[in-house]
Each structure stands twice: as structure tokens, then as C-alpha cells.
Amino acid sequence: MVLAVEAKKLSVGYEESDELLWAVREVSFEVRESEAFCIVGESGSGKSTVASAIAGILPPHGVTDGELRVGGRVVVKGNERDYEGVRGRLVTYVPQSPGASLNPYLEIGDQFYYVLSSLYGLSRREAVEKARAYLRMAGLEPDAVLDRYPHELSGGMQQRAAIALALSTGARILVADEPTSSLDAHLRLQIVELLKRLRAEAGLTLIFITHDMLLAGALSERVAVMYAGRLVELGPTREVLRKPLHPYTSMLIESVPVLGVKRPLKAYTGEPPSPGEPSGGCPFYERCPFRLEVCASENPPAKGVGESRRVACWLF
């Protein structure tokens, strides 16, 4: 089994008022080459921080611990980070909003040129030629896009252009951080279908970040569920959706409607703890309907359940 990404007790934190606040704590998982892998959780769960670590775009002041390998290269070892030759070449990134990756002052064609000339020294003609190929792959007509500024494109076209730009670097690992959250339902479906098609055609490893378990079900083969900076459940997506092990995973699933299935929806209850909030026990304790006495004082370790699943819960 060839691994595209491997995290071993990865932690990411930030210093605030002389205090270190951990956004991600000791997260361990593996992503196989050519796999579609989803990381799911509410806002503040740490999923986007993990995505930023994989893509090599953590803020310079971020503190890291543990180990992270991308494309077989160690990019995080303790608090040392080295993404040279990895960012853009081995792993590429699509942010939640295309405005975060598309420069509003540059035409789309120029954006491809600056990225590809910086990475590979391509001439403008070579870069535009490559841009045409990837824009077509993303379902856009190059002549209608290349000479336009981002604000002249619809939201769906901007996101397609951002995906085309990311893929044009030739990286085999694509990290997509909630790329559909700002789109309406119709465009969201289009982008999901586009990512599925591109992954199948190009043999990409797709790491998709979302808060929506049903979206994870439509896109991924395996899913990692994060809560309060920790990984609480990991397993094949279909199995997790059919029989969630962690109470938090159940809450995520029960809060979204399923087409053709009649069941009452349950709203999220309570709030996740803030980063740095002291907790000697399970971070989900206050919201959990199945909490045990031990949950208040001891954080549960991750435990294997069967051959392919892992859960951090005292119920197991």
C-alpha cells in the first residue's frame, strides 16, 4: 500500500498572550495513494488546520509537533517544517472561497502564467497552453475565461478556475477545503461531480474537508471525524454512515436530511469547547447523551474496532 499522506500524532498550535493554544492535538491517520478521503467536523474542529498542514500553508507562527509525511517526504518533524519541493509540486490546494486563491487584480490567464513560471519556468505561451487544457478539463471554455478577471465570472466558474489552476501544477494530491460551501445546491452538485470525474481521470489523491457527512458519503471512500482538535472516528465512509460508533458522528449524521428517507432531524446541541479550554476528560462530555463517569476525567484513547475502524470513545 502506497501512502500519499501519513500523520503521526500531529499537533498544531498558536501562541496567544504567552499561552499556547492547540488547534489540533495528536491526530494520526493515513491517506492511500489515489484515495478519496474526507475530514469532517463542525467549525472549530481542527479539520481546516489539518488541511493547511498537509498543503503546507500553515501560518509562520504556528507551532507543530508530531510527524507529517506528504508524498513520502517528511514535511513536519517536531516543530521543524520543510515544504520545499512539496507545496505545488506534490500537493496542491483549493480553498473554501476562490477569492482566496484567485488574485482579483489579475486576469485568469496571467494567474496561470505566474504560478507555472514560478514553479517550472514556463513561458507565457507554454503556461497559457497548459491553462487551456486544464480549464477545459474543469468544464470551462478557455476563450471565455482566460482574458477575464475573477469578478467577471460566476461563483461556480470561479471555483472551476481555481480547481483548474490547482491541478495545472501537476501535483498528485489535491486538498479541497470546503470548496462548495459558498455555492448554491445546484452548483455544489456540479463541483462534487467535477471533483469525482477529475479524480477518476487523473488518478488524484483527494483530501476533502467538509462539515457535511452526506457530502462525505458522496465523495469519499474513507472518512475521519474530528472534534475539538482531535480525531474521534475513522473508517470506511459507508460503514461509518450506516453504523456510526462515536456519539458525535451520530449527531452529524442525524442533523442532515437524506433524500427519500423520512426521519426527524436533530439539531446540534451545545457548543464545542474553545481552544485552550481546560478539559481533563473527553472534549465531547458536555454534549454527549451517553456519557459515563470516566468521561469527565479521562480523555479516551483511539481504539481499533474490527479490521478497518478506529474510535476514541469510552463506550468502546
> 157-183 pLDDT, tens per residue?
999 999 999 999 999 999 999 887 767
- Domain annotation covers residue 47: yes
User: Is-contact 40 83, C-beta < 8 A?
Assistant: no
Cell numbers placing 272: 464545542
pLDDT of residue 284: 94
- Domain annotation covers residue 288: yes
Q: Can you tell me the distance from the alpha carbon of 226 to that of 43, in angstroms, rounded to the nearest whole number?
A: 10
pLDDT of residue 237: 95
Model confidence at 155, pLDDT cuts 50, 70, 90, reads: confident
pLDDT of residue 299: 92
Model confidence at 68, pLDDT cuts 50, 70, 90, reads: very high
Burial class (CB in 10 A: 0-12, 13-18, 19+), 269: exposed
Report the predicted TM-score, pTM, of the whole model to 2 decimal places: 0.92
pLDDT of residue 268: 66
Model confidence at 215, pLDDT cuts 50, 70, 90, reads: confident
Cell numbers placing 126: 507554454
- Domain annotation covers residue 130: no
Q: Can you tell me the distance from the alpha carbon of 54 to that of 174, in angstroms, rounded to the nearest whole number?
A: 10
Q: For the segment 288-302, what is each residue's pLDDT rounded down to a tens digit?
A: 999 999 999 999 999
Into how many domains does the chain fold? 1
Q: Annotate 252-306 with DSSP letters as a single string.
A: HHHTS--TT---------S-PPPTT---SS-TTGGG-TT--GGGGT-PPPPEEET
- Domain annotation covers residue 217: yes
Model confidence at 202, pLDDT cuts 50, 70, 90, reads: confident
- Domain annotation covers residue 160: no
Q: For the segment 88-111, what is each residue's pLDDT rounded down to a tens digit?
A: 999 999 988 877 789 999 999 999
CATH of the domain at 216: 3.40.50.300
- Domain annotation covers residue 122: no
Position 258 pLDDT exceeds 70: no
pLDDT of residue 133: 95
Position 61 pLDDT exceeds 80: yes
- Domain annotation covers residue 125: no
Structural domain boundaries enclosing 58: 3-90+171-311
Q: How far apart are the first and last CA of the chain?
A: 28
- Domain annotation covers residue 235: yes
